[in-house]
Amino acid sequence: MSTKHNLEENLKFEPQFDENGLIPAIAQDARSGQVLMVAYMNREALDVTIQSGYATYFSRSRQKLWKKGEESGHRQKVEQILVDCDQDCLILKVAVDAGQCHVGYQSCFYRALKQSPELPEKSVSSATGKELEFIAKKVYDPREAYKK
C-alpha cells in the first residue's frame, strides 16, 4: 500500500482502481484539447489500451471490455496517458476522427447549462429544473455508423 505522499510525488505508476475495480479515464483530443468523453477502465482495459495503443474501456452497462470504435469505426489512437496526483484518474490524449460520441456529436459534452439572466435578489438558483442548451452540431449520423 502506498502512502498518499508516495502516490503524489514518485514516478511509479500505481493506478488506484475503485471498489468496483474501475478508474475513470478522460479522452481528450491531443490536438484541440477538447474533452471528448469520460469512461471507465478496469485493469484489463488499461493493459489492452497500453498494449494496443488504442483506447479500450470497461462498459459498466454491458459489464465487458469495450474497444472504442470497434463497431462505429471511431477509434481513439492513444498518444499519451496522464495520471493525476492521487492516481485515481487518467487522461488519454488521443488522435481521433470526426464523431466520437454515439449520439452523433464530436464530443459527448454537446450541451451546457443555460445561463440564467441576472436573478432577482431573493430567488434561489439550484440544479433542479435547470435547462440545457446545445453547444455543438452533429458531425455524423449514428444510424449509419451503428447499423448492423
Binding site for its own copies (CB under 8 A): 8-13, 15, 24, 26, 28, 32-35, 37-38, 43, 46-47, 50-51, 80-86, 89, 91, 101-103, 105, 108-115, 124-135
Pick 48 or 75: Cβ nearer its own copies: 48
CB of 46 to its own copies, least distance (A): 5
Nearer Cβ to its own copies (53/73)? 53
Please report, for residues 4, 54, 66, the alpha-carbon distance to residue 33 in angstroms, rounded to integers and kept in the order given: 29, 18, 23
Nearest to 20 by CA among 41, 47, 46, 37: 41
64 or 132: CB nearest its own copies = 132
**Residue matched to cell numbers 446545445:** 134
Residues listed for the chain: 148
CA 26 to chain centre: 4
